[in-house]
Amino acid sequence: MTQTPRPPAEFFQRDRTWQPRALTPDYKTSVARSPNLPMLSLRGTLSEITGPVFGHNDIDPLDNDLLRNYAKTSDPIGERIIVHGRVLDETARPVPHTLVEIWQANAGGRYRHRKDSYLAPIDPNFGGCGRTITDENGFYTFRTVKPGAYPWRNWVNNWRPAHIHISVFGSGFSQRLITQMYFEGDPLIAKCPIVNSLTDPAAIDQLIAPLDMNAAVPLDCLAYKFDIILRGRRSTFFENRPEGN
């Protein structure tokens, strides 16, 4: 009995030039955090790579609506926007039913965090956090306000561009990837030492969400489209996996 040969498995060589160097002196804190010895590869335990399984029952209907999920007396202050896109694998296939979380500063550039001492005021109607689960086609969407830029103690006058932090979970908590989404047209992107730790302009472009007028809601909010590619030669840069994936 002859067997039909299996098609070759998909294999994607890691592109180490795509990820930034660990030591980028213009990003000051990278100097202290850069490893001096080669990193070790450790095999994940069964408890680390399996469970918990996230389902739609774990998500509140307002969890992906940052305009309403913390509001007490009115909508948050700021430019109302929609952020949407797809979570994809290396061959552009959708990744369904995966947990996506975001957190961000408010419209003035202030985080709801006790250690954030920036002069911008806290918005009492904005919590800055949300989560959702991708649908069967890998789509996700959030409604929020556009975050403001803010200064940070790198050099004398460094400012972070407006950005939203995004994390994607796999089947377990240890399978978590974190990235940042920037906004098309922001002049601070080119001046940010964190962004410029990426040496490939194409990698930076992949972190910038273009304006999507087709998804905007007339007389309500603009929209930005941000696809997240989990693996492959041109995967989205994940800040907690600078060695690649």
Q: Cα angle vertex 226, ends 221, 230, to 5°?
A: 155
Q: How many other C-beta atoms are found inside a 10 Å radius of the C-beta of residue 70?
A: 18
How far apart are alpha carbons 48 and 118 in whole angstroms? 37
Give residue 171's identity as a one-letter amino acid code: S
How far apart are alpha carbons 44 and 154 in whole angstroms? 35
CA distances from 95 to 12, 40, 86, 136 (A): 18, 29, 8, 8
Alpha-helix residue ranges (DSSP H) falling in the chain:
29-33, 46-49, 201-205
Q: Are 130 and 100 a contacting pair, CB within 8 Å?
A: no
**Catalytic machinery residues:** 111, 150, 160, 163, 165
How far apart are alpha carbons 197 and 200 in whole angstroms? 9
Q: Are 147 and 106 a contacting pair, CB within 8 Å?
A: yes
> Strand pairing of 228-229 and 80-88?
parallel
How far apart are alpha carbons 203 and 182 in whole angstroms? 12
Q: Are 151 and 158 a contacting pair, CB within 8 Å?
A: yes
Tell me, rounded to whole angstroms, the distance of Cα 154 from its chain centroid. 22
